[in-house]
């Protein structure tokens, strides 16, 4: 079993978040202009990491292991 974690957008990304997601999470964080900042939640879906922001943005790995950004209401997720 893998436990997820939560953190505030724009803050330090926890060590438990795979490095492969860091760049895309950072790109999304730079777009956030609200205060208080929303929180990210890291979960694991079928063994793959999924970081979801409270506004519906999602950073996950595609089948090739590349980090991608989408929205929770996309058919992709």
Domain ranges in the chain are 5-71
Q: What is the pLDDT of residue 3?
A: 78
Mean pLDDT of 48-63: 94
Model confidence at 7, in pLDDT bands (50, 70, 90)?
Answer: very high
Distance CA 27, CA 64 (A): 20
Does residue 74 surpass a pLDDT of 70?
A: no
Overall average pLDDT of the 20-45 stretch: 95
pLDDT of the residue at 25: 98
Task: Provide the pairing of β-strand 48-53 with 39-45.
Answer: antiparallel
| Closest C-alpha to 19, from 46, 57, 59 | 59
Instruction: Give the whole-angstrom CA distance, residue 39 versus residue 9.
Output: 5
pLDDT in tens, 12-27: 999 999 999 999 999 9
């Amino acid at each position: 079993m893998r436990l997820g974690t939560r953190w505030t957008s724009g803050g330090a990304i926890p060590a438990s978040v795979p490095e492969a997601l860091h760049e895309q999470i950072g790109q999304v964080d730079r777009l956030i202009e609200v205060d208080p900042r929303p929180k990210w939640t890291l979960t694991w879906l079928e063994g793959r990491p999924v970081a979801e922001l409270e506004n519906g943005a999602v950073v996950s790995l595609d089948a090739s292991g590349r980090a991608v950004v989408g929205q929770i209401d996309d058919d992709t997720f």
